[in-house]
């Protein structure tokens, strides 16, 4: 899913590009960093320059852009050390077999290899090469050694590669590399924790084609799951229909009805440290007409649909929590926001309740922003006006860690 966290604004990324047909995708990756208000510098190997021009990166605003070790046009005679002083994270995408071998053995005869050797911050490697090259024992040994030293490996992916062969060796999805870079920069203050998130709507089936639901998109729950994953948590997302795709590292359990969501959440709640209940669960389900399509001609002048109540997932799991589990609930309201949010906090025995007004521009279902009233069990209250859902997620996790 797409989300921009202001937490990463102003951070500096140095992007290394190696020789690969996938080198052009590094431009898209650089743009993702820039859209997150991050600064990007870049180094291209000689082989990378055969696939894409350094001018392309300069043209989109990457600065500085390096190529050869002893190039008189570089900024200084110590350019091979610059990323070690300036960058917060070093990303190689695509990373070739040759460069991986150089990094594993400490060889520094190229600008990119020297810069990596002099960089002691987080290193993110996204390999791309022929599947047989990737599978070779030498490449696997180099990758294992780099991982042992602390590098983050992203991919490669499987599929058809440029040479026409099929197998593991494709550059991983650009957005996945982007997210792993953010994770390398994020505080890992949820490492060792398991976070359960419910998100999106539920659909309560009535006949073969109709259901009872609401306009929830799952955006708020999605960014909370993503923020928790970025900060090191193991995340289980119980997701209603139509919700955004989450990173591979998040265990997503797709559900449809309120009953299915409760059963899935209950199955994972006992091993969770934090429960975040953002889902817009239908309070009632229609008594089913049946699997066939209801024909309006059979209804006469009037149609009556009966409903039965669904279990309250937040209340059910919050009341079943142990002394070490933390609960964050959400309250979507159309009026009396503060009063109703406080009431739900106490009625459902949550540690933190986040209320937002739905149906107003810039807040609620389908919006990238929310206006929030947040209160905790200690009586602390805050108002957040027209704030991005990504930043709300980050701040709510910060708050939970203080409780």
In angstroms, how far is the first alpha carbon of the chain from the final one?
A: 29
How far CA 201 is from CA of 181, 272, 312, 316, 331, in Å, comes to 30, 22, 14, 18, 14
Do the beta carbons of residue 247 and residue 232 sit within 8 Å? no
Q: Which of 125, 154, 185 is the last residue in one of the domains? A: 185
Task: Give the count of domains, the chain.
Answer: 2
Task: Establish if 296 belongs to a structural domain.
Answer: no
pLDDT of residue 1: 65
Which of 123, 119, 132, 99 has its CA nearest to residue 17? 99
User: Same structural domain for residues 149 and 232?
Assistant: no
Do the beta carbons of residue 321 and residue 329 sit within 8 Å? no
pLDDT tens, residue order, the chain (403 aa): 667 898 999 999 999 999 999 999 999 999 999 999 999 999 999 999 999 999 999 999 999 999 988 765 655 667 787 788 899 999 999 999 999 999 999 998 899 999 999 999 999 999 999 999 999 999 999 999 999 999 999 989 888 887 788 888 999 999 999 999 999 999 999 999 999 999 999 999 988 888 889 888 899 999 999 999 999 999 999 999 998 889 989 999 999 999 999 999 999 999 999 999 999 999 999 898 888 888 877 777 788 889 999 999 999 999 999 999 999 999 888 888 889 999 999 999 999 999 988 877 777 777 788 889 999 999 999 999 888 999 999 999 999 999 9
Task: Establish if 297 belongs to a structural domain.
Answer: no
The two beta strands, 39-44 and 12-17, are: parallel
User: Same structural domain for residues 179 and 200?
Assistant: no
User: Same structural domain for residues 55 and 201?
Assistant: no
Token pair recorded at residue 337: 């926001």
Q: How many CB atoms lie within 10 A of CB 345?
A: 23
Cα atoms in the Cβ-side hemisphere of radius 13 Å centred on 145? 13
Cα atoms in the Cβ-side hemisphere of radius 13 Å centred on 303? 9
Task: Establish if 208 belongs to a structural domain.
Answer: yes
CATH at residue 18? 3.40.50.1950
Q: Which residues contact 9 (CB under 8 A, 6 or more apart)?
A: 36, 37, 38
Catalytic residue (choose from 18, 77, 116, 163): 163
CATH at residue 341? 3.40.50.10300
- Name the helix (H) or strand (E) containing 260: helix 258-269
Q: Which of 122, 154, 185 is the last residue in one of the domains? A: 185
User: Same structural domain for residues 30 and 120?
Assistant: yes
How far CA 385 is from CA of 149, 194, 357, in Å, comes to 44, 30, 11
Which of 135, 66, 124 has its CA nearest to residue 97? 135
Full DSSP string of 338-386? HHHHHHHHHHTT-SEEEEEE-SSTTSSTT-SEEEEEEEETTS-EEEEEE
* Three-state DSSP state, 278: coil
pLDDT of residue 386: 86
pLDDT of residue 72: 55
Q: Which parts of 25-121 fold into alpha helices (H)?
A: 25-35, 46-49, 54-59, 82-86, 97-105, 111-117
User: Same structural domain for residues 239 and 140?
Assistant: no
Query: Taking the model in full, what pTM does it have?
Result: 0.92
User: Is 49 a known active-site residue?
Assistant: no
Task: Establish if 245 belongs to a structural domain.
Answer: yes
User: Same structural domain for residues 199 and 179?
Assistant: no
What letter does residue 292 receive in the DSSP assignment? S
User: Same structural domain for residues 89 and 234?
Assistant: no
User: Same structural domain for residues 21 and 102?
Assistant: yes
Q: How many CB atoms lie within 10 A of CB 360?
A: 12
Task: Establish if 295 belongs to a structural domain.
Answer: no
What letter does residue 296 receive in the DSSP assignment? G
Task: Establish if 298 belongs to a structural domain.
Answer: no
User: Same structural domain for residues 38 and 170?
Assistant: yes
pLDDT of residue 365: 79
Domain that holds residue 352: 194-286+306-400
Task: Establish if 292 belongs to a structural domain.
Answer: no
User: Same structural domain for residues 317 and 342?
Assistant: yes
* Three-state DSSP state, 89: strand
Task: Establish if 94 belongs to a structural domain.
Answer: yes
User: Same structural domain for residues 29 and 172?
Assistant: yes
Full DSSP string of 190-256? TTT-EEEEEESB--EE-SSS-EE-----SHHHHHHHHHHHHTT-EEEEEE-TTPPP--TTSEEEE--
User: Same structural domain for residues 361 and 261?
Assistant: yes
Q: Which of 167, 185, 203 is the last residue in one of the domains? A: 185
pLDDT of residue 79: 78
How far CA 384 is from CA of 9, 16, 74, 200, 399, in Å, comes to 20, 39, 46, 22, 13
């Amino acid at each position: 899913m797409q989300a921009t966290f202001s937490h990463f604004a102003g951070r500096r990324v140095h992007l290394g590009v190696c020789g690969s047909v996938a080198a052009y995708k590094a431009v898209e990756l650089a743009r993702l960093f820039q859209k997150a208000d991050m600064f990007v510098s870049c180094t291209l190997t000689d082989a990378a320059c055969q696939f894409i021009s350094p001018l392309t990166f300069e043209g989109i605003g990457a600065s500085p852009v390096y190529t050869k070790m002893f190039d008189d046009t570089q900024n200084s005679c110590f350019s091979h050390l610059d990323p070690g002083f300036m960058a917060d994270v070093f990303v190689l995408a695509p990373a070739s077999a040759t460069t991986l071998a150089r990094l594993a053995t400490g060889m520094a005869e190229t600008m990119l290899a020297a810069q990596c050797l002099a960089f002691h911050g987080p290193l993110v490697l996204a390999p791309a090469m022929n599947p047989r090259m990737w599978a070779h024992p030498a490449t696997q040994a180099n990758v294992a050694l780099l991982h042992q030293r602390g590098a983050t490996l992203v991919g490669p992916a499987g599929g058809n590669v440029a040479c026409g062969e099929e197998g593991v060796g494709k550059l991983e999805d650009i957005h996945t590399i982007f997210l792993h870079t953010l994770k390398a920069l994020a505080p890992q203050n949820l490492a060792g924790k398991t976070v359960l998130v419910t998100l999106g709507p539920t659909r309560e089936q009535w006949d073969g084609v109709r259901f009872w639901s609401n306009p929830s998109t799952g955006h708020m729950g999605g960014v909370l799951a993503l923020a928790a994953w970025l900060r090191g948590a193991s995340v289980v997302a119980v997701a209603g229909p139509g919700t955004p795709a989450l990173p591979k590292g998040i265990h997503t359990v797709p559900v449809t009805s309120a009953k299915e969501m409760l059963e899935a959440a209950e199955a994972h709640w006992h091993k969770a440290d934090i429960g975040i209940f953002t889902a817009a669960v239908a309070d009632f389900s229609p008594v089913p007409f049946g699997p066939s399509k209801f024909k309006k001609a059979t209804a006469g002048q009037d149609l009556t649909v009966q409903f039965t109540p669904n279990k309250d997932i937040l209340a059910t799991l919050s009341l079943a929590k142990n002394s070490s589990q933390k609960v964050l609930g959400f309250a979507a309201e159309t009026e009396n926001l503060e009063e109703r949010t406080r009431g739900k906090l106490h009625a459902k025995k949550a540690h933190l309740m986040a209320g937002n007004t739905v149906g107003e521009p810039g807040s609620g279902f389908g919006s990238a922003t929310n206006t929030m009233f947040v209160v905790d069990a200690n009586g602390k209250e805050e108002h957040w006006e027209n704030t991005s859902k990504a930043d709300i997620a980050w701040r709510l996790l910060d708050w939970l860690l203080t409780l």
